[in-house]
């Protein structure tokens, strides 16, 4: 039987560091206010000329080099993002061209913060069926160009950063200890407007976007913070337990937890609810903020660098985001 193995990871963040103190120059806020509510101390923002595919390219090149493969081996490029270079075609097409590849399939995933785990599941299914043997999965985001960086938009603007992470997944067998064990995906569209961006859109009148939409700030993300916070803890705990039951595993058998990085307080409360020792949870939000689809692969790369993620370890990931959507995965590194 075929199985999927994560063989490498790469990450890239722009060089510009934006601290909480810098944000206080643009809006009524402070380092203490942001840190207490989110755990974030700083984030990375791109230069004006940089696009999402540029970040994706750098992370991908590192992942490909670390996998020690010929890029031409890649059968499929999966890109998880909510901030592509353009509305269409998908980010994967622009990344493919920059990688110098031609002919392999590309597919974009629009599940926001859950996008990377959804992508992991899609890659796993394609490899298990034998359709593809080598898949590049990328999570990449540029939020800084789409935030309302004023006091009015403060609650969302302070949370997000730019960055990209990529992994190479190869076909192996179910006898290989290092493989994806299971993935679990869920959505509930009844809550779609609790975390969304209304414009541009085909369901907001005669125009996808017009002056009135801009005046009403409909092109900026909107979030019901309290509802998202509560649902995130509940759903991530549920889907993590689902993964453990599926694999007949106990929590103690997981060596490292790589959760989506939306808010440090969410991850702290999730760990308390599941009774996970703090030393088993690896967080990056303090340095990078919420990079949505990029947070988990960035976490992988940072954990490897820090010596926290090593060959043979059993890892669990969970994410929650817009949709609402939530997902989990258990895999052996």
* Active site members: 113, 260, 290
Measured CA to CA, the distance from residue 4 to residue 131 in angstroms comes to 12
What does the block give as tokens for 30? Answer: 């402070």
Q: How many helices (H) and strands (E) does the chain have?
A: 11, 13
Q: What is the torsional sign of CA 272, 276, 279, 280?
A: negative
Sequence-distant (6+) residues with CB within 8 A of 145 are 46, 83
| DSSP-derived pairing of the beta strands 17-19 and 42-44 | antiparallel
> Which positions ≥6 away from 234 have C-beta within 8 Å?
none
CB 136 within 8 A of CB 74: yes
Handedness of CA 18, 231, 292, 151 (dihedral sign): negative
Rounded Cα distance between 53 and 59, Å, is 10
Distance between CA atoms of residues 286 and 283, nearest Å? 7
For the chain, the C-alpha Rg in angstroms (whole number) is: 19
For β-strands 325-332 and 180-187, DSSP reports them as antiparallel
Contact 235, 228 (CB under 8 A): no
Tokens (6 digits) for 137: 């999965």
Within 185-281, residue ranges assigned H as helices are: 211-215, 225-246, 264-274
SS3 138: strand
Q: Is 71 helix (H, G, I), strand (E, B) or coil?
A: helix
């Amino acid at each position: 039987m075929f199985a999927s193995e994560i063989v490498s990871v790469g990450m890239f963040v722009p060089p510009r560091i934006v601290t909480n103190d810098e944000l206080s120059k643009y809006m009524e806020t402070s380092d203490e206010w942001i840190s207490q509510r989110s755990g974030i101390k700083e984030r990375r923002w791109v230069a004006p000329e940089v696009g999402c595919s540029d970040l994706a390219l750098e992370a991908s090149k590192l992942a490909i080099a670390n996998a020690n493969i010929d890029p031409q081996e890649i059968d499929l490029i999966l890109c998880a993002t909510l901030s592509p270079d353009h509305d269409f075609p998908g980010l994967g097409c622009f990344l493919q061209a920059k990688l110098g590849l031609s002919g392999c399939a590309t597919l974009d995933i629009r599940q926001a913060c859950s996008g990377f785990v959804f992508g992991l599941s899609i890659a796993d299914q394609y490899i298990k069926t034998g359709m593809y043997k080598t898949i590049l999965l990328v999570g990449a985001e540029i939020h800084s160009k789409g935030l309302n960086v004023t006091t009015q938009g403060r609650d969302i603007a302070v949370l997000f950063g730019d960055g990209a992470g990529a992994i190479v997944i190869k076909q192996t067998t179910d006898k290989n200890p290092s493989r994806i064990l299971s993935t679990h995906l869920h959505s509930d569209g009844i809550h779609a407007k609790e975390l969304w961006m209304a414009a541009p859109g085909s369901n907001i009148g005669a125009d996808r976007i017009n002056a009135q939409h801009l005046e009403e700030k409909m092109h900026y993300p909107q979030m019901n913070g309290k509802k998202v916070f509560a649902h995130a803890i509940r759903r991530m705990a549920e889907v993590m337990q689902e993964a453990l039951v599926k694999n007949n595993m106990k929590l103690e058998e997981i060596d490292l937890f790589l959760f989506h990085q939306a808010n440090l307080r969410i991850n702290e409360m999730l760990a308390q609810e599941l009774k996970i020792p703090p030393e088993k949870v690896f967080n990056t939000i303090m340095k990078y903020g919420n990079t949505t689809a990029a947070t988990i692969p960035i976490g992988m790369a940072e954990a490897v660098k820090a010596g926290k993620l090593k060959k043979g370890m059993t890892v669990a990931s969970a994410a929650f985001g817009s949709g609402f959507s939530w997902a989990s995965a258990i895999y052996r590194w």
